[in-house]
Structure 1
Amino acid sequence: MQTIIAQAKKFVRDENGITALEYGMLAGLITVLIIASIASIGSTLQKVFSDVANTI
């Protein structure tokens, strides 16, 4: 019984899994921001090219 309690305490203090989870969440957030900015820039570029094509 003592070893189970000691292992449980060791598991609670271990932060390696938490660090990996934080990196995963950060990577996901960066991915969402990149996709949103590409979508925004894409629609803006389409408008610019349409304006240029209409002017020509």
Structure 2
Amino acid sequence: MVQYLHALLISRFVRTERGASAVEYGLLVALIALALIAGATALGGGLDKIFTNSASKLSSAAG
């Protein structure tokens, strides 16, 4: 009986650790996604200005 309880406690501990790892990985993925979105937003504004300036210069050069 004691061995059964010991095995049961160990199996629950292992399952709990797996669940905690899954939560940690989920948080890491969310943080990376947030950083990518912030970077893309910041870069997008700069790229918009570059393409707008290039288009206006090409239009004025074409006459």
Task: Tell whether the structures are fold-level matches, with TM greater than 0.5.
Answer: yes
Match of 1:40 in 2: 35
The percentage of counterpart residues that share the same residue type is: 8
Q: Quote the RMSD (CA, aligned, Å).
A: 1.0
Q: Where do 4+ consecutive residues of structure 1 move more than 2 Å? A: none
Larger Rg: 2
CA distance in 2, matches of 1:40, 1:24: 25
Q: Secondary structure at the match of 1:36?
A: helix
Report how far residue 31 of structure 1 moved.
0.2
Aligned partner of 2:40: which letter?
A: L
Match of 2:47 in 1: 52
Q: With the length of structure 1 as denominator, give the TM-score of the two structures.
A: 0.76
Match of 1:3 in 2: none
CA distance in 1, matches of 2:49, 2:16: 50
Instruction: State how many pairs are aligned.
Output: 48
CA distance in 2, matches of 1:54, 1:47: 12
Q: Name stretches of at least 5 consecutive residues in structure 2 with no aligned partner.
A: 52-63
Report how far residue 55 of structure 1 moved.
1.3
Report how far residue 16 of structure 1 moved.
0.8
Match of 1:17 in 2: 12
